[in-house]
Amino acid sequence: MDFSFTDDQLQFRDAVRTLLDDRCPPAAVRSAWTNETGRIEGLWARLADMGVLGLMAPEERGGLGMGEVDLVLLLEEAGRAAVPDPLLEHTAVAIPTLSDAGVCADVVDAAVSGAVTVTVGLADAGPYVLGAEQADHLLLERHASLHLVDAAAATITPVSSVDDSRRLGRVEFALDDAQLVSDDPRARSLAFDRGALGAAAQCVGVAQQLLDVTVAYVAERHQFGRPVGANQAVKHHLANVALAIEFARPMVYEAAWCIATGAEHRSREVSVAKAMASDAVDLACRRALQCHGAIGYTIEYDLQLWLKRGWALAAAWGDSRRHRRRVAAALQLA
């Protein structure tokens, strides 16, 4: 039993944090709200250079040949920085799914190098596909099989998200235009678990960021001649957020390990992780807003970037109720 990360894994996380502090500050996220693509200029290429995009691709495809335990910390950082690109879809789901199936090697190569973006749409993950219009390829589900479709061959209808940097699309495609990736239900189930895990990791990152900025704010903001954070009602709100994160986070790490090792209860553990992470980020959003007061309710103030990302991610890849239902089914409670 060793529930810890290696120094290498932690250093990789620190390097990604440094990159995101530099390339993905709130002003950059804000620009993705209004620009053409909903993405951050130059960030994708930098993530490719660092090996993040291809982290899970085999070495012979130019990847790092690593797994979910290595990736989970990086996705937490992506949540913390509110990275708007479809990083989890591309890195945590599309590349390993295509690599496992041993198909579309050219797409994997281009995805690892950052030359293309591959996004994902699975039936259980929600009705919309993130970044569909901006992506080059789409990994989509039809009749429990997985298919790869060129974005140009699909019909994409844009849908507005509460988070304008999340460019959603409703996607239709003809099977004739698609290449079969896998008709093995286990591949579909694994792809879903990978996506739900990635979303859970991002939820924890968003929640931690909301907690950190709110702690800093309430220590600074004064009313009645003292910091508002000296009031017990405020303290307890934030202690509750810290508690929710403290117990969701190990489940996210444990679920990552379960996927990486093909553990018996993998899907159940992923669902525990996503349910707890969704609940944690939802609480963090609401308490962060309350503890900020009206300034948090403005569009100018950056808090809203994380609030909206948090709410979107809490529901993406299955909301907490849906994942609890999966846990209940795994435990044969119903």
Partner 1 sequence: MDLTFSAGELAFRDEIRAWLASNLPTEAMASMDTPAGFEQHRAWERVLFDAGWSVPSWPRLFGGRECSLVEWLIFEEEYYASGAPGRVNTNGITLLGPTLFAFGTDEQHERFLPAMASGDEIWAQAWSEPDSGSDLASLSTTAVRDGDHFVVNGQKTWCSRGAWADWIFCIVRTDPGSERHAGLSYLLVPGDAAGLTRRPVGRLDGEPAFAELFFDDCRVHESNLLGGEGDGWSVAMATASSERGLNLRAPGRFLAAADRLAALQRRLAASGAADDELTDQVASAWMKAHAYRWQTYQVASRLQAGGTIGSEASFMKVFWSELDVELHATALRLLGGDGEVVDGPHGRDWMSGYLFALAGPIYAGTNEIQRNIIAERVLGLPRK
Interacting residue ranges for partner 1, rule: CB under 8 A:
1-6, 69, 211, 215, 218-219, 226-227, 229-230, 232, 234-236, 238-240, 242-243, 246-248, 250-251, 253-254, 257-258, 261, 272, 275-276, 321, 324-325, 327-328, 331-334
Q: Which is nearer to partner 1, 104 or 291 (CB)?
A: 291
Residue 74's nearest CA partner among 1, 24, 130 is 24
Q: Which is nearer to partner 1, 17 or 325 (CB)?
A: 325
The distance of closest approach from Cβ of residue 251 to partner 1 in the complex, given in angstroms and rounded to an integer, is 5
Q: Which residue(s) pair with 159 in the sheet?
A: 168
159 three-class SS: strand
Strand 155-159 and strand 222-223: the pairing is unpaired
The distance of closest approach from Cβ of residue 320 to partner 1 in the complex, given in angstroms and rounded to an integer, is 9
The distance of closest approach from Cβ of residue 315 to partner 1 in the complex, given in angstroms and rounded to an integer, is 17
The distance of closest approach from Cβ of residue 225 to partner 1 in the complex, given in angstroms and rounded to an integer, is 10
Q: Which is nearer to partner 1, 151 or 245 (CB)?
A: 245
Q: Which is nearer to partner 1, 170 or 265 (CB)?
A: 265
The distance of closest approach from Cβ of residue 202 to partner 1 in the complex, given in angstroms and rounded to an integer, is 18
**Whole-number Å distance between alpha carbons of 257 and 155:** 37
**Whole-number Å distance between alpha carbons of 206 and 211:** 9
Neighbours of 311 (CB within 10 A): 19
The distance of closest approach from Cβ of residue 21 to partner 1 in the complex, given in angstroms and rounded to an integer, is 21
Q: Which is nearer to partner 1, 32 or 259 (CB)?
A: 259
**Whole-number Å distance between alpha carbons of 327 and 13:** 30
**Whole-number Å distance between alpha carbons of 210 and 114:** 30
Question: Any idea which residue has 């309710």 for tokens?
Answer: 297
**Whole-number Å distance between alpha carbons of 232 and 80:** 27
Tokens representing residue 214 in the block: 């709110």
- Which residue type, as a one-letter code, is found at position 194? R
**Whole-number Å distance between alpha carbons of 94 and 281:** 25
Instruction: Name, in order, each residue with C-beta under 8 angstroms of 213's C-beta and a sequence gap of 6 or more.
Output: 288, 302, 303, 306
The distance of closest approach from Cβ of residue 227 to partner 1 in the complex, given in angstroms and rounded to an integer, is 5
Strand 137-142 and strand 118-121: the pairing is parallel
Q: Which is nearer to partner 1, 238 or 289 (CB)?
A: 238
Q: Which is nearer to partner 1, 140 or 251 (CB)?
A: 251
Tokens representing residue 46 in the block: 């930098």
Q: Which residue(s) pair with 172 in the sheet?
A: 155
The distance of closest approach from Cβ of residue 224 to partner 1 in the complex, given in angstroms and rounded to an integer, is 12
Q: Which is nearer to partner 1, 102 or 250 (CB)?
A: 250
